[in-house]
Structure 1
Amino acid sequence: MPACKEGSVAKYASAEAYNKAAADPALLHACTQQLTAVIVHDVFKPPVASRIYAYSYLAAYEALRYQSEEHASLAGKLNQFTTVPAPDPASAYCFPLAGVTAFISVGKGLTFNQALWEEFEEEFYRSYQQMGMPAEVYDKSIAYGQEVAAHVLSYAGQDNYKETRAFRHTISYQPGGWEPTPPVFAEACEPQWNSIRSFTLDSVAHFAPPAPTTYSLDTNSAFYRLTKEVYDTGINLQEEQKTIAYFWDDNPFVTSVRGHAAFAEKKMTPPGHWIDIARTVSQQKKQGMLEAAETYTLTALALNDAFIACWDAKYKTDRIRPVTVITQHIDKGWMPFLETPGFPEYVSGHSSISAAAGRVLTHTFGENVAFTDSTEYVYGHGVRSFASFEEAYWEASMSRVYGGIHYRDGAEQGTYLGERIGDWVWALAKGNKQELLAVESNKVPVLKASTE
């Protein structure tokens, strides 16, 4: 980005004035939307997208927090995360500028399309140059943001991500074992994701869900009843259920097959959907930039760790998808309303990460915060309103049953897993030992009544 030249623009009267302008939360929200646009363009898989969000927001928060003594570093709280380099106490900084610079630098470092970032940066940094801060303050703030970003990128480089790139899943061919699903029969997604270092979990199985219902084709078995529920729901799908399933689809690469040709459409990822919900409510509640950065950061950490725990359960249980059982044993012509994603069923990823994010946002904003979610409007999925985050994440969970891609126990147990992780992330970040103990005591909750 270009350096700020002294005297090139009209100056504000004081440091207080340009710092206030620089801390406009709309600037951080704009960075958020840009990162999502790049993630959609680059077609990152949902677990990978969650990792990108988490490191980008962590960098923004760690640089921004120096503007307030009330916001503590996450160093020492997150696994293996050490203190970022401190700013020079003898120098003047604009920490909001440092924060967004750290965010952009990490986002660029973890994504592919640099041209999209360069186009964004040119206009984005021009708005900061027009605030009239001294050139020395501008340049030092940019440099400090980049220093924090380098620290976070080094931290990211040690999370085992690179080492997992060459792994492929071996199909077990055991009864009840997962196998690729139509229409594209894709390879299993991220089979080694449980080896990625989490930010907050003691182990990937810290909140391991109970074992799934035992596979059985006996028509009196619990598993067959779960399968029959998916089948019956699918052939009698109500319009509202279709709307809910489609709204929460969040498939980043939807495939349409026509004859021998396959067409794909890029869309929002599940973590991107919840990041945008965080943005919506942050704006609704008029959070300042630092408060918004904290909201984004804790939400993203919960999303990331929920994916890791969920993927651990998926590949350990290796559970078959409904479409495979139904087409092989009940109705060979049946197809789910949504495209089945390419990885094992138990537990539901969308259920897990939605509940994790929803719990963090509930702790942040309150139990009964109504909001309207227009995240997917640009993709033709409509707009929905909710009375609370809990209502939203349970609807997201049940959407997977309506869509025909999950059994009820996979959706429900995924939700319980995510709830515990969201509570854990919040309590750990806030240093609340009493809350941590409460979450620990509820590792395997009793299955509550199903909701429809």
Structure 2
Amino acid sequence: MMFKNFSILIFSVCVFISCNTEQKPLSVTPDDYNNAVDKVTEVIIHDIFSPPVASRIYAYSNIAAYEVLAQNHPEYNSLAGKLNGLGETPKAENPAVNYDVAALIAQMEMAKSLIFSEDRITEVRDSLYKTWEDQNADELVASKAYGLQVADHIKSWMDGDNYKQTRTMPKFSVNADNPSRWQPTPPAYMDGIEPHWMKIRTFVLDSASQFKPVPPPAFSMEEGSEFHNQLMEVFNVRNEMTAKGDDSEEAAIAKFWDCNPYVSTHKGHLMFATKKITPGGHWIGIVKIATKKNNADLMETVYAYTKTSIALFDGFISCWDEKYRSNLIRPETLINQYIDDSWTPVLQTPPFPEYSSGHSVVSGAAAEVLTEIYGDNFQFDDDTETAYGLPVRSFDSFRAASSEAALSRLYGGIHYRAAIDEGLKQGRQVGQYIVSNLHMKNDGEALSHSGN
């Protein structure tokens, strides 16, 4: 009897060990993907990429992931033939491929190739590889091979976007003889950032100038002129905010949407960079908030990131095309020259021309895409800036958030009214064009949502 019970025990142990050494299917959750995108944002901040360049990092890495997943989700369309110059994505030939794993691998590989601090992505990737290898080595090998194959396909397409060529183009020349033209601003007096960004290939727009805004008001320092009135509005709003104190609603809005990765702080003879999220990074954070609130699965999550990052990318190209065409001087420069040499804006002025407002353009574009996906009454609490010591702000819709983001530039003292209003209009035109022309779902783009 004792021998029989012992045999049963040995058999049970063997079955237990056998079951637990058996390879398990690998899985990737929406949170895994959110964490991967968060890591990209972290590296963008660490490496201090400019807002336009940051939008490129988000876009290509998300597109790579999307192209993998779309092969396994017939309700979603490949972006081949839909984005300018993108050819057909390779199909997976190995039936052992796990598309979710391959998508995350493609995203990480693209991100790693686009940033400086590659080790920060590599560390996360290698940790995942170790976990996956222990669970199912065969599935990992097949998925890794396919993910890297798609990443190579996207890299090959990306190489034709003219980015590399713009790295060796001349710096922006300041025209100091023309009082209306942009000049570097304090405290760092940096050169104009990305003066050739309009030469980058767009994704969906026909050209950088497709949604060229109306020109800004004609430069004039004559009292009563439209331009002078808008300059004085910036000056007066700042003074009114000073009278209200640092805890005013206007100051809170300005600081919440600052998103300037070039903020410099002086300590004695030294200057330090205060690293912050970019405008695009803020909207990528809003995508995370929306997908989590909607309990999105992995495919929907990647879809929302991808379409929003495409809108941000084309929005920056459209905006930068106008910035270096109109080449308009910033309010801070004129106020210091003509009105009050001790005046400073609430926010540090970014290093590029004034018109149109970049925040306004990309916020308008992103909001249109997110409104298409989740509806016009999607209430959300934006905690994107809590990492920088700022409180949560709540919005009744993406468009309401984009309007506040645009207005924040007036409260910040860095844009005239025209750049804000026309920039928001410009961005919404970009976003609406993408909504109308980039069809990524077979059954219409809108998803059921829980935002009401």
Match of 2:162 in 1: 160
Gaps of 5+ in 2: 1-17, 445-452
When residues 10 and 33 of structure 1 are mapped into structure 2, their CA distance, relative to the original with a 3 A threshold, is farther
2:207 is the alignment partner of 1:203: yes
Q: Distance in 1 between matches of 2:133 and 2:165?
A: 41
Which of 31, 56, 63 does residue 36 from structure 2 map onto?
31
Q: Is the 8 A contact 2:76 2:440 kept in 1?
A: no
CA deviation after TM superposition for structure 1 residue 172, in Å:
1.8
When residues 340 and 93 of structure 1 are mapped into structure 2, their CA distance, relative to the original with a 3 A threshold, is same
* Further displaced range: 306-315 or 350-359: 350-359
Show the 5 A alignment for 1:31-430: 31-88=36-93, 91-129=95-133, 132-133=135-136, 135-166=137-168, 167-173=170-176, 174-237=178-241, 238=244, 239-430=248-439
Amino acid at match of 1:138: L
Gaps of 5+ in 1: 1-6, 436-452
What secondary structure is seen at the aligned counterpart in 2 of 1:262? strand
- Cα deviation, 1:243-268, whole Å, max 9, x if unaligned, reads 11001001113111244322211111
When residues 289 and 214 of structure 1 are mapped into structure 2, their CA distance, relative to the original with a 3 A threshold, is same
Q: Is the 8 A contact 2:71 2:78 kept in 1?
A: no
How many residues are aligned here? Answer: 418
- Cα deviation, 1:133-152, whole Å, max 9, x if unaligned, reads 4x332211110000000011
Amino acid at match of 1:207: F
When residues 307 and 190 of structure 1 are mapped into structure 2, their CA distance, relative to the original with a 3 A threshold, is same
- Cα deviation, 1:354-382, whole Å, max 9, x if unaligned, reads 11111111101010101111111111122
* Further displaced range: 173-182 or 102-111: 173-182
CA deviation after TM superposition for structure 1 residue 68, in Å:
1.1
What secondary structure is seen at the aligned counterpart in 2 of 1:29? helix
What is the TM-score when the length of structure 1 is the normalising length? Answer: 0.89
Q: Distance in 2 between matches of 1:245 and 1:42?
A: 24
What secondary structure is seen at the aligned counterpart in 1 of 2:265? strand
What secondary structure is seen at the aligned counterpart in 2 of 1:118? helix
Q: Distance in 2 between matches of 1:8 and 1:165?
A: 55
Amino acid at match of 1:413: E
CA deviation after TM superposition for structure 1 residue 336, in Å:
0.5
Amino acid at match of 2:119: A
When residues 262 and 69 of structure 1 are mapped into structure 2, their CA distance, relative to the original with a 3 A threshold, is same
Match of 1:450 in 2: none
What secondary structure is seen at the aligned counterpart in 1 of 2:180? coil
Q: Distance in 2 between matches of 1:124 and 1:272?
A: 24
What secondary structure is seen at the aligned counterpart in 1 of 2:179? coil
What secondary structure is seen at the aligned counterpart in 2 of 1:67? coil
Amino acid at match of 1:334: W
Q: Percent identity over the alignment?
A: 41
Q: Is the 8 A contact 1:9 1:129 kept in 2?
A: no
Two-structure CA RMSD over aligned residues (Å): 1.7
Amino acid at match of 1:228: M
Q: Distance in 2 between matches of 1:320 and 1:115?
A: 40
CA deviation after TM superposition for structure 1 residue 389, in Å:
0.5
Q: Distance in 1 between matches of 2:125 and 2:19?
A: 19
Amino acid at match of 1:153: K
What secondary structure is seen at the aligned counterpart in 2 of 1:391? helix
Q: Is the 8 A contact 1:276 1:375 kept in 2?
A: yes
- Cα deviation, 1:216-248, whole Å, max 9, x if unaligned, reads 001010000000000000111141111110010
What is the TM-score when the length of structure 2 is the normalising length? Answer: 0.89
Match of 1:3 in 2: none
Amino acid at match of 1:182: P
When residues 221 and 255 of structure 1 are mapped into structure 2, their CA distance, relative to the original with a 3 A threshold, is same
- Cα deviation, 1:303-335, whole Å, max 9, x if unaligned, reads 000000000000000000000111111111111
